[in-house]
Chain A
């Protein structure tokens, strides 16, 4: 049985960063995400996932750990609105257990400051979103072109339960 391709989340994660500094509700503080922070791989194989919102068609991750095992994947360097970052996700089976940001490049000092505030929230939000297991996304009507880049399209591929 093929497990949900959790690495698809890597592309979407970059998008979380751009806004969390602006929104009022940001779930748990960084503390909830700090467990295991910086530890990177937790004993599994390492691989590279393809970033981007439609990664299923653009590449396959190198990870090959059996379902249920601990594994990590690093996303490609992503533009996130204020600079570039890459995200490394550690998962145990389908469950995301940690998120780290090994690469962060910003153009301006302001962006660096903003990013340093945003990224701890990014981690907690990704972890929260994973545990939330949403079934759908409600938003202003997207065009069929915009659908391809949407979180709903990622969900349709992920079969998140």
Chain B
């Protein structure tokens, strides 16, 4: 169902626009892509965008837990070993294992009702892959936002860092804060899709956060750690504080806030 992105990028000016944007529906959400072309010619830019979108649709085909015939669904039911499935499944399972350990068990895809569920990591993983394709194309910079979890490289404009608004948990149009980032930002909360955040210890929906944001170099890991902080609240935030390169920002259910030292709020 990939829509041909060739005609889709649009910018404020037809001649050498500074930023191009594209929105691609995939994995049940919409991926927003911002590209800084730099010296990359138009056809190469479009070809990179098309390849990045294709990798998102491929990730959906492999990791859809809704599609009962997808590789990940077969793995969940124990119908296939990792060796019989596309290599990406083993890669994501390894990332999940690593994230479970690093998060002190607060992120645990094996503790989900219904069996192994990598959803808390796999969208970030897919964005990382799409972004790598854009980076390798030679464009000057890009940001890919996978439905609220995003990663970027380069700069939106010379001397300007990427600025990311953190959605306010109780108002869709308001921001709880604005941060400057150079790589990944993931946010987790139950305000969009209901009580899907499960406490691995109790197998019940968790209630220790309204919103949890994690920044760091890898969006796959930031995505998993944001899920961990959303589930574990202050306790999980303390774990993230000890993970090199990663920082966390938590809005508690009562509206109070806390954060680790490396979150760079604007003003």
Contact = CB atoms under 8 A, between A and B. Distances in A.
B82 interface: no
Interface in A1-24: 1-4, 12-16, 18-20, 22-24
A14 B156 CA distance: 28
A143 B83 CA distance: 32
Given A153-B23, A161-B18, A135 B34 contact: yes
B148 interface: yes
Interface stretch (B41-49, B93-101, B174-182, B232-240): B174-182
A141 B148 contact: yes
Interface residues of B, number: 60
A137 B143 CA distance: 11
Contacts, number: 165
If over half of B's interface residues share one DSSP class (helix, strand or loop), that class is named, otherwise mixed; here it is strand
Given A138-B149, A140-B192, A153-B30, A22 B266 contact: no
Contacts of B185: 136, 138
17 contacts: A12-B173, A15-B174, A25-B177, A129-B175, A132-B163, A134-B178, A135-B162, A136-B165, A138-B149, A144-B30, A147-B23, A147-B147, A149-B172, A151-B167, A151-B172, A152-B148, A161-B157
B164 A144 contact: no
Contact of A19 (B28, B168, B192, B193): B168
Interface in A144-161: 144, 146-147, 149-153, 155-156, 159, 161
Interface residues of A, number: 45
A142 interface: yes
A95 interface: no
Nearest to B230: A140
Contact of B29 (A137, A141, A155, A161): A141
